[in-house]
Amino acid sequence: MLAALAQHPIKALAHITGGGLLENIPRVLPDGMAAHLVKGSWPKTELFAWLQKTAGIDDIEMNRTFNNGIGMVVVIDAASAAACAATLRSLGETVFEIGVIAPTRLASRRVPSECWTHAHPHRHHERSHPDDDPTP
């Protein structure tokens, strides 16, 4: 990570620990901005799938409590993202583009339900309807 920080204009890092994706990413964002995450943009591990099924945990609680396989989120501008990902991969890291940072209509810094998006087979991102499942 230090090599990526030295070589690329990383704007923020979020270590995904207790509080999961829903609480840790917003801590590094300014007011008025939100993480627009893409459901299915990273693989669900067998461990988290087993835990969710065995304990009967719903998707929202899984994302509020666990990292679901995402240990660190790097916030970087789109123009630098591919080069930064290449640097991290060359250092042995596994990298997924899991979403974008964009304005939100809400006053708080959180991952609001209307900001979850779903992967679409013919387009890079497709916004979900607010009534859709709000969890990746």
For the entire predicted model, the pTM comes to: 0.73
Q: How crowded is the C-beta side of 103, counted as CA atoms within 13 Å?
A: 1
Higher-scoring residue by pLDDT: 114, 1: 1
Q: Name the amino acid, one letter, at 40.
A: G
Total residue length of the chain: 136
**Band of the pLDDT at 12, cuts 50, 70, 90?**
very high
Q: What does the alpha-carbon distance between residue 75 and residue 98 come to, in Å, rounded to a whole number?
A: 11
**Averaged over 69-88, what is the pLDDT?**
93
pLDDT per position as a tens digit, 17-49 = 878 888 889 889 988 888 888 878 889 899 999
> In the prediction, which pLDDT does 115 show?
44
Per-residue b/e over 89-108, b at no fewer than 16 CB within 10 Å? eeeeeebeebbbbeebeeee
Contact 1, 73 (CB under 8 A): no
Q: What percent of the chain has pLDDT over 70?
A: 76
Burial of 55 (0-12, 13-18, 19+ CB in 10 A): exposed
Output the CA–CA distances (angstroms, integers) from residue 103 to 81, 106, 112, 114, in the order listed.
19, 9, 11, 12
Choose which CATH entry (3.30.9.10, 3.40.50.300, 3.30.565.10, 3.90.650.10) describes domain 2-127. Answer: 3.90.650.10
Average per-residue pLDDT for the chain: 78
